């Protein structure tokens, strides 16, 4: 987890995730870099398929989109966001 992350021990225990487990693979890149890398990959496929937008699909897509939009606002990557 990043420094200052708000981790609720009860939530972690409930879902069974140990964020400090050494077997957990985490990438050491900042949020802006990660989003730009993801957006670049999605945009490449989107262009190959001659699409103008990418659609975010998920189990609770409204929540996921809100989470993504908050990260986009923090990182200033709005113009690179392929999702709508």
Compute how many other C-beta atoms are within 10 angstroms of the C-beta atom of residue 81. Answer: 19
Q: What is the DSSP letter of 76?
A: T
Residue 47's pLDDT is 95
Residue 48's pLDDT is 97
Residue 61's pLDDT is 86
Q: pLDDT 10s digit of each residue in the chain, 84 long?
A: 777 888 999 999 998 989 888 887 777 788 999 999 999 999 999 999 999 989 888 888 889 889 899 999 999 999 989 987
Nearest to 35 by CA among 82, 79, 74, 72: 72
- The domains of the chain are located at 9-80
Residue 38's pLDDT is 93
């Amino acid at each position: 987890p990043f420094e200052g992350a708000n981790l609720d021990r009860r939530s972690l225990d409930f879902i069974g995730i140990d964020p400090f487990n050494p077997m957990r693979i985490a990438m050491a890149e900042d949020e802006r870099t990660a989003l730009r890398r993801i957006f670049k990959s999605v945009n490449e496929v989107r262009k190959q398929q001659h699409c103008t937008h990418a659609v975010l699909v998920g189990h609770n897509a409204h929540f996921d989109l809100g989470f993504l939009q908050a990260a986009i606002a923090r990182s200033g990557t709005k113009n690179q966001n392929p999702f709508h």
